[in-house]
Structure 1
Amino acid sequence: MRIARWNRHGSTEVHEGFVIDDRLHPFPDGRTVAQVLTEGLPSAHELYARVQKSNESGSVTRADALSVVTLLPPVVPASIRDFVAFEEHVEGVSGSVDGKSEVVPEWYEAPTFYFTNPHTVRATGEAVPIPDTHRMDMEAELAAVIGGVPDSSGENLNAEAAAQHIFGYTVMNDWSARDLQSREMKVRLGPCKGKDFGLTLGPWIVTADELTGFEDDEGFLELRGKARINGTLVGEDLMSNMGWPMPELVAYASRNSRIVPGDVLGSGTFGNGGCLGELWGLGREVPALEPGDEVRISFEGIGEIVNVVGDRVPAPELPRARPRPRSRQRRAGKSDER
């Protein structure tokens, strides 16, 4: 099953439903993607059967052709965790940061992630405005979308239970301003403004059961991802080259915490050119992205997202931190008590 959200051309009304062949069928009863995710995958199958039956009987009220709609992000995320699960990517990008390509021992101990901004998610087809950066980059990733499971709180899951919470997958581009990211990471916290201006999800959610044929014996998905800039292939990799399969990433996210329907978990950038930062770290003289550049990211079995880099949007100036004297007198006017 493929699940999408869309506007009909010339309208801002949001429609949500199934993609069947090249047409979009709204969910019955006014359901939303958020509700379908909460109800879980078995319920979605029942809903899909209803829509198919109506389609075959000719009683469908309205189905929109893909050619007459604008696709929206397929989910309004409850949260977004983005992992860094490809060893080759970590090694390459480290070289672009400090000139030394390496994978620190801590990377192998557990899958690392950061939280990013669910309020600046973009759809395929959108222009993505960027900050005042001159090291603009993209990151090609696969993302898991979490659904509901009966009688599960989503807390402290093992990998087997976590797999049941993966409703489906979508394509992700974690846009990155590398110069901003490099500065803020020196403070040993982040990334923040180097990332949170934009992230693309789309074109739709493909349910997890559609991809079981791609699973290897260890649960890795042998899906091939490709990244193209202005039509030129810059990177491709198999998702089975991750350090951990997706259910283990989900399980780790739930450790002493909780995952809920609508959460999105990115795999991290695939290796072999999944981002420009990796190529820079390997000494490749590849230009940074500029306004007007087109970025395409695709995964077999799922689909493709396409965005054009938008204009730079200067932000208001912010003053530097104010120096403060360091003394024992933390409260003005208060003398030592003896």
Structure 2
Amino acid sequence: MVAAVFYEVTAMPITPPSNYDGKFETMLDYIQAGTDVWNEVSARTKMKPSTNTGYILTRSRMLAPLPHPRSLRDFYAFEQHVKTANANRGREIPKEWYDAPVFYFGNHNAVYGHGDTIPYPRATQMLDYELEIACVIGKEGRDLKPEDAEDYIFGYMIFNDWSARDVQRQEMAVGLGPAKGKDFASSFGPHLVTPDELANKHAGRPGVYDLTMIARVNGVERSRGNWKDLHWSFGDMLARASADATLYPGDIIGSGTVGTGCLLELTKGEGPWLQPGDVVELEIERLGILRNTVGEKKD
């Protein structure tokens, strides 16, 4: 079900306009319907909902906003994270990092939502969270310019890029990866927020906003940063991703980890790491709180 959320309390199902032939069975259906449909639905959702209709969020299970994305690219766009991650290995930031934003392809079929339990990978003893922003592409585009990229973004959501650090370390020593170090789980949510909801926090660069980012483990704050600290803007990222390649509605673009946004940074790679039963909350101002529990280890 595709729904609009009101006051973080009620979810109202979204139905197609009378002059639209398609159905909104998934969020991708809605995204692909196009701008005219979005505008009409947006106008409808600005009306105050009836108190006796819709779904109460506390009594409902929320899926990931886009459970079946077309693809998942994750960038490496926060300089503080890159600097600290390299310093932990006794290295400087590679000069090539400043030449262009870089990304890897993640597993778009291992998607989890708010409230889901994240399976603990058998191969790791070093499970970590990563506090990130993700944008969802709203319309097809190729060879985009950074200054035009915001026209292609449907919305933003919180992204937890779960990471098995020991596996990642082993694979990236070969010169590839992170591969199995990250392909077991990505969680998104709780909502997919359209850019108009963030407009008065725009920081002057394409896809960059002055919004606080926080991570908590078992209720204790561990990470704090700000979206505006991106070195590479979402405009830069979309321009890079679309160079000689086509972006499609429903593609996800991740920002990479905000500075201090993972245990790898906070503990200089030594841990302690996440354990079964730990509750990880990622919060981004205006986007909500994404909460997941770490599952039990399996033999």
TM above 0.5, yes or no, is yes
Q: CA deviation at 1:49?
A: 2.3
Deviations 1:113-138 (A, max 9, x none): 10001111111111101212111111
Please tell me whether residue 88 in structure 1 is matched to residue 80 in structure 2: yes
Q: Tell me, which stretches of 5 or more residues in structure 2 are unaligned?
A: 17-22
Which of 93, 99, 107 is equivalent to 1:109?
99
Aligned residue number for residue 189 of structure 1: 176
Which of 216, 223, 233 is equivalent to 1:245?
233
Deviations 1:46-80 (A, max 9, x none): 11323555x66x6x994111122100000121101
C-alpha separation in 2, matches of 1:234 and 1:264: 26
Please tell me whether residue 165 in structure 1 is matched to residue 157 in structure 2: no
Which of 288, 292, 296 is equivalent to 2:277?
292
Contact 2:126-2:271 within 8 A present in 1 as well: no
Please tell me whether residue 78 in structure 1 is matched to residue 70 in structure 2: yes
Deviations 1:260-291 (A, max 9, x none): 111111110000x200111233x7x6411111
C-alpha separation in 2, matches of 1:278 and 1:101: 14
Instruction: Map 1:294-313 onto structure 2 (within 5 A).
Output: 294-313=279-298
Contact 1:92-1:101 within 8 A present in 2 as well: no
Count how many residue pairs are aligned between Structure 1 and Structure 2: 288
SS in 2 for 1:183: helix
C-alpha separation in 2, matches of 1:50 and 1:212: 20
Q: Which amino acid aligns with 1:137?
A: D
**1:235/1:51 CA distance change after superposition, 3 Å:** closer
Which of 206, 210, 220 is equivalent to 1:232?
220
Contact 1:143-1:171 within 8 A present in 2 as well: yes
Deviations 1:11-47 (A, max 9, x none): xxxx212112221111214413112211234521211
Q: CA deviation at 1:202?
A: 0.3
Work out which of the two has the higher radius of gyration on C-alpha atoms and give 1 or 2. Answer: 1
C-alpha separation in 2, matches of 1:200 and 1:41: 27
**1:61/1:233 CA distance change after superposition, 3 Å:** closer
C-alpha separation in 2, matches of 1:221 and 1:50: 26
Q: Tell me, which stretches of 5 or more residues in structure 1 are unaligned?
A: 1-14, 315-338
Q: Which amino acid aligns with 1:293?
A: D
Q: Which amino acid aligns with 1:184?
A: E
Runs of 4+ aligned residues of structure 1 deviating over 3 Å after TM superposition are 50-53
Which of 119, 130, 138 is equivalent to 1:139?
130
Q: Which amino acid aligns with 2:292?
A: N
Identity of aligned residues (%): 39
